[in-house]
Amino acid sequence: MDLQSVASPTGFVIGALCGLVPLIIGIRRRTFGPGLLGFLACLFSGFACNVLGGLPMIVLAVAVVISYTYTDRDDPFLSRATIEEVDFEETFGAMITRRLATLGRSIRVGLRALVRNKAGFLGFLGLAFFFMLTIFGPMVIPYDGEPHYYDRRQEGAITLFQGPSAEFPLGLDWQGRDILSHIVHGGRALIVTAVEAGVLTSVIAVILGAIAALVGGLPDRLMNAVANFILTIPQFPLLVVLAGLISFKDRFFLALLLAVLDWPTLMRAVRAQVLSLRERDYVEAAYALDLGLPHIVLREVLPQMISYIVISTIFSIRGAMYAIVGLVFLGMVPFTEPDWGVMIFMGRSQGALFSASAASMLLSPVLAVALFQLSLVLFTRSLEEVFNPRLRAGL
């Protein structure tokens, strides 16, 4: 997983190449606007995340472009074809096109819903800002770990704090290093770890919840007992203990650990939902047909719960970031600079908390964390609208 990658010139080229696909399709289908937008979207995401961003964006962009002109020949309401003309044996290509068009339509509807909720859109903009900051920021502002003005420090001063100036918009930290560059570079590891933890939490919870509900019996009781157990131990103190036990040099372990402590709530919700779904005929049918656990989970359960799961994931991300910064704050995990949490820790231990001139050192990362978390929470409002058809209809 190359999530650590940042914007690069190669990515720009990859993005441009990827963008050609929706562009050409758009020109051929005479939908120039969407085609061009698709090109830009691919260019942008390829630029940001190389192949990892470019390729998925091709699919999304093509889907949206196609959805503008696609009419389903089999759709009884839209198609003018008589029943004899309709070929029900659709070819593979036709099926792909149909699926893409459906996807494209829901993306468009989703985007519209995203924009409609003001608070949610604000959250989206906030997240986009942090995304740009950590992905494109490093291209503009290189990491600066060198002390400045070391020679000019005041006589007897121990620290090199400096307030904001034209040269250093956010000032200098206690070692005389540029705070702005620390803010730009210090969020990535934190965000990536938090997102990893959130996604892992949901994956674990969904799988365990589905198993508990569908298999029942001993596994069900066992998992409930474990969930109960985890919910009884206070999370943060336990984390502090575990932080002493496990080396968190590799942040992925930290993410995994956070996920292991966080899954019970979602798992219970999934379990309850699956149990109620099981009563419904189509799931029973799928079960009777022996379509297998993965099929049932992926095709029947997930679509029903997607809104709940996504929002729960966001809250897990938020919780993970809370815990990581908290651990760093207490000095319980090894430091890797640059990092917002480390900035807060060092700022406090170097006395920036009580000195007005040094406030920027603390205030900058504190606001960064606060705004990121706030954006996450606000963004869930939009997600609710995107996923909730009743809200989407504007009723």
Nearer to another protein, 106 or 265 (CB): 265
- Provide, rounded to whole angstroms, the least separation between the CB of residue 322 and another protein: 5
In the Cβ-directed half-sphere of 380, how many Cα atoms lie within 13 Å?
Answer: 18
Contacting another protein (CB under 8 A), which of 32, 129, 229, 335?
229
Q: Which of 110, 147, 169, 326 binds another protein (CB under 8 A)?
A: 326
**Span from 74-82, 160-168, 268-276, 376-384 in contact with another protein (CB under 8 A):** 376-384
Report if residue 233 touches another protein, rule: CB under 8 A.
yes
* Least distance (Å) between residue 118 CB and another protein: 10
Closest to 201 (Cα-Cα) out of 318, 343, 101: 318
- Partnered with residue 162 across adjacent β-strands are 172
Instruction: Compute CA distances 369 → 109, 190, 296, whole Å.
Output: 31, 10, 39
240 sits near another protein (criterion: CB under 8 A): yes
Q: Is 12 among the residues that bind another protein (CB under 8 A)?
A: no
Least gap, CB of 107 to another protein (angstroms) = 23
Opening angle at CA 122, ends 117 and 128, nearest 5: 125
Taking CB under 8 A as the binding criterion, the range among 100-108, 184-192, 277-285, 365-373 that sits at the site for another protein is 365-373
Among 113, 373, 385, 386, binds another protein (CB under 8 A): 373
Please state, in angstroms and rounded to a whole number, the distance separating the CA atoms of residues 52 and 28: 26
* Residue 370 sits in the site that holds another protein (CB under 8 A): yes
Does 68 engage in binding with another protein (CB under 8 A)? Answer: no
Verify binding: residue 314, another protein, rule CB under 8 A: no
Name the minimum Å distance from CB 389 to another protein. Answer: 15
Q: How many residues bind another protein (CB under 8 A)?
A: 43
Q: Tell the smallest beta-carbon distance from residue 377 to another protein (Å).
A: 4
Residues 143 to 202 in contact with another protein, rule: CB under 8 A: none
| Binding footprint of another protein on the chain (CB under 8 A) | 119, 228-229, 231-234, 236-238, 240-242, 244-245, 318, 321-322, 325-326, 329-330, 344, 348, 353-356, 359, 362-363, 366, 369-370, 373-378, 381, 394-395
